[in-house]
Homo-oligomer: A and B are copies of this chain.
Amino acid sequence: VVFFWDERLDRERPITRERIALTARDQAFGRERAPQLARAELERRLVRVRAATEALCAELSPEDAALQSMPDASPAKWHLGHTTWFFETFVLRALPRFRAFSPDYAYLFNSYYESIGPHLRRDARGLLSRPSLAEVYEYRSVVTAQLLELIEAGRGDWDVLGPRIELGLHHEEQHQELLLTDIKHLFAQNPLQPAYRLPGRTHNAGPAPALGFKVHAGGLLPIGKQGDGFVFDNERPEHLHFLAPYALGDRLITNAEYLEFVRDSGYERPELWLSDGTRWLSAQKISLPLYWQEAGEQSWAAFTLAGLLPLNPSDPVCHVSYYEADAYARWAGARLPTEAEWENAARHQAVRGNLLESGEFQPRPVEPGESQFFGDTWEWTQSAYAPYPGYVPPAGALGEYNAKFMCNQQVLRGGSCVTPSEHIRASYRNFFGPETRWQFAGIRLARNT
């Protein structure tokens, strides 16, 4: 036996070698080996998720939906098409007598699945004035209808197709978030600074409570996939990880706290920055978080999905790169958490918070009792994105979904104010390059004890 520290029981418990071995064998993507969602439930979710994506685009003009503001961001129209192509390719194409909606779409809407075939290069997604937005909506309707028929008629190998439909839904939810961050980036480039939506409710602008740190005992702890719900392949297998004792901040860092760093010349002090960060600062001429603007003497504004608004000091700071998060932590005498530290702390918390469904589309001040593990902003961790011990990517093209990005990326945890609540969980691993800023990414501090 190997012992581990069970944080809930606050004592050691033995782990059998059998369990260790077992976790290493549990390699399937999504639910493929797990109890499946009932057809009726899947049908309900399909209708709901597809409609939710379209609802997010309801106010976009054809032009809004067609433009690409940078290679990392995609036009809304492309998101609408790509999520549809994903279902068509991984579900409908497996059926007999399959006919593609359009022979060209496999090229246009494949993102990066080399095993499927050649595809449009990423930075050319904004060159597609055709197909029109209307044609893409037509594509969506046809594919959604085909999926519903498939579910109802029970055509095809359900053991394969059922899990793939579920995967397609999680994939589409992922793109709901990207669609919003991409629109925000596009609108931010427009000198008119248009608003995607009306401002949400005003939050009490009182200062955040003093930052506290909660100590965790560590030990030999389970990390990764929990229970029977859907997870991505990169959350598998559940495995043991040894953690020394550590402490985590009890809320996210606020704009007010980050402003102290700015005013203390945080951006000009190389001793606070990673070497790559120093280079990035100077090449990109960065001195503030993305979307911040000076609005006068000691006064700041930030571009939001509701247009340019005064910076609320008690909101969590957002749209910072890993380099900025890391430098802030060093300046604050702390560090960023590892992903295991974060997950261990979040594992027993309810998934609740300022997520997409709150309708705020902006981080909001912490409320009494909240720890902000879920929602508001993704939290940068000091962990590079890497396979879990025993990880084996899914066979075929779906193996490209996550595995090939396991280099030069940092893991982020916890979801943001534009993450659908069904999409997030404690074991969820998001990842972006350390210089990335257009996602809603913020800062939670950690410390050694």
Contacts and interface: CB of A to CB of B under 8 A. Distances in A.
- Candidate in A2, A64, A326, A405 with the most chain B CB atoms within 10 angstroms: A2
A120 B448 contact: no
A443 interface: no
A332 B241 CA distance: 28
A394 interface: no
Contacts of A399: 271
Contacts of A62: 61-63
A120 B410 CA distance: 31
- Which 5 A-B pairs have CB atoms at the shortest separation, nearest pair first? A384-B384, A114-B270, A63-B129, A63-B66, A64-B129
Contacts of A270: 114-115
Given A67-B129, A114-B271, A189 B124 contact: yes
A289 interface: no
A190 interface: yes
A243 interface: yes
A407 B2 contact: no
A20 interface: yes
B67 A127 contact: yes
Contact of A407 (B4, B104, B126, B274): B274
Given A114-B270, A407-B434, A127 B386 contact: no
A220 interface: yes
Interface stretch (A130-138, A295-303, A351-359): A130-138
A14 to B, nearest CB: 9
A275 interface: yes
A290 B400 CA distance: 27
B405 A274 contact: yes
B274 A132 contact: no
A130 B275 contact: no
Contacts of A20: 244-245
Contacts of A2: 3-5, 12, 219-220, 242
A382 interface: yes
A187 B190 CA distance: 24
A406 interface: yes
Nearest to A406: B274
A436 to B, nearest CB: 13
A404 interface: yes
A71 to B, nearest CB: 11
27 contacts: A1-B3, A2-B242, A20-B245, A21-B245, A24-B448, A62-B62, A66-B129, A67-B126, A67-B127, A107-B191, A112-B275, A115-B271, A127-B190, A128-B190, A128-B192, A129-B186, A129-B194, A239-B244, A243-B389, A274-B405, A274-B406, A274-B407, A275-B405, A276-B407, A323-B407, A382-B386, A390-B448
Given A64-B129, A271-B400, 6 more contacts: A2-B219, A67-B127, A108-B192, A127-B190, A244-B390, A384-B386
A186 B67 CA distance: 13
Interface in A327-370: 335, 338
